[in-house]
Structure 1
């Protein structure tokens, strides 16, 4: 097998069906396998996958209910036989020529290790007007990290791995192994203390190793945005989650002996504060705008951002508290890698 498509899923049979349909209509051969990792579904996910067996050669279904996205990502990578791994979310629809572009991207250039493409929205309902303030303008194009949306145009370019998100994440298997794999992500609410920063840690290692990401317009997909994600309540939950992620990132940096950080307590606090500021969505939103394009925020939008900033700080402090008071959380955060993705059993 040359390419392994890995799709973690849980209780999204209808959305998963659309994702598999977008794969089934492409030119498939024995060099492509599709691996669906069911992370504990109690709907008809398995039946939905079986429905596609005749249309998708080499379709594999595995069930593992260990909580978290790591289960799907690392179990999928473990059983994958492809040299190229393509991680997709279970609520995306692929460009009809996606797999052709994927194969050409990696076969034509051995120096390419990471690749992604446009992640465009497929809104369930007309998005609210306030959503426009959550789009960032970057050197490459525009993106909305809150909803994992990205559009850097129609030209192939090199971009930072930090703009490579899990819904459209293509990587050489050897590179994934060399970089140590993913960090914990999408942990259920009642286990939030074990949440990590997902693909951010991997992206950071890629940057340190001088590895960039190739943005390929042909690797375009549509990301289904349900109406419940177009609410303030969803963005508030997302802000808390982001705070936890930021805490995880800062703790792994400030507790990493390889970084040779031997600082006084005051200096460590300064580092953490700078990290929080740098990673903060509102901070990114301001910093990534071109100076000539900066605009004064409407009062209601500013209030919303201030509220989200506080909620994000709450998430950060929540995780810091658990790290400092729970040995299992501390050991989990400071693991060398997460190939063994099983959570501490006595904290499940």
Structure 2
């Protein structure tokens, strides 16, 4: 492309790279594409068309199909959505921030410039004191959810459209049990911290004794894999609550 540029961001991590991209951008619509994403040939054409047809939508995305390096074990299928895999048959939209059914993932995420500008301001003004995204070996996430939810903060909505399609290249190690355990724990941690950001700093309540007792009963009925996954999710939540109680 005649206007293509490569920009180097010295600070490690997805969030610094995303913020740098926002600062450098000049277009009305920003499209975020990871290095393991392959956009369909008509993806950008559809982005322009949808942005024109849906002026009330501030952040939107589409279908994310997997291309696995090796066929993953069948038991992993129920966790594929955690790998940003999403396929659906009808368009969806809402103005409810963080709603699973309508919140676009970071893969192929499209946002209007004013949404991106508001998100950048959150970081510049100190409203986001902790980075909720990948950096080095960390598997923290939710920065994309926060960015999409920012559209709702300024009176716009989120949308998912069937016409937007990309392929997510997934190496074999990302569907191994140990990786998924780390990922789920990090996502649970990130979700609690993001909730704190979006409730103006309020710290979510710790798990009560009834919940803890019910957890112990659930664990007894689970097989080994389910038990490890459940504990990873709970560990992530507990670590996040501990982190928030100590102050950001």
TM-score, normalization by structure 1: 0.56
| Unaligned runs of at least 5 residues, structure 2 | 212-220
Q: Distance in 1 between matches of 2:59 and 2:148?
A: 10
Superposed CA offset, 1:274-294 (max 9, x none):
9xx9xxxxxxxxxxxxxxxxx
Query: Secondary structure, in 3 states, of the residue corresponding to 1:115?
Result: strand
Per the TM alignment, residue 208 of structure 1 is displaced from its structure 2 partner at its CA by 5.4
Distance 1:157 1:249, change over 3 A: closer
* RCO higher in structure (CA 8 A, sep ≥6): 2
Query: Secondary structure, in 3 states, of the residue corresponding to 1:60?
Result: coil
Per the TM alignment, residue 321 of structure 1 is displaced from its structure 2 partner at its CA by 3.8
Which of 36, 39, 44 matches 1:94?
A: 39
Query: Secondary structure, in 3 states, of the residue corresponding to 1:177?
Result: helix
| Unaligned runs of at least 5 residues, structure 1 | 1-55, 135-143, 262-267, 278-297, 334-348
Correspondence for 2:59: 114
Correspondence for 1:304: 225
Distance 1:304 1:209, change over 3 A: farther
Per the TM alignment, residue 240 of structure 1 is displaced from its structure 2 partner at its CA by 2.0
Q: Distance in 2 between matches of 1:253 and 1:124?
A: 37
Distance 1:255 1:209, change over 3 A: closer
Equivalent pair of 1:119/1:221 in contact (CA under 8 Å): yes
Which of 206, 218, 222 matches 2:163?
A: 218
Distance 1:221 1:254, change over 3 A: closer
Distance 1:85 1:230, change over 3 A: same
2:14 aligned with 1:63, yes or no? no
2:115 aligned with 1:167, yes or no? no
Which of 186, 190, 197 matches 2:134?
A: 186
Structure (1 or 2) with the larger CA radius of gyration:
1
Q: How many residues align?
A: 224
Distance 1:199 1:269, change over 3 A: closer
What RMSD in Å do the two structures reach over aligned CA positions? 2.9
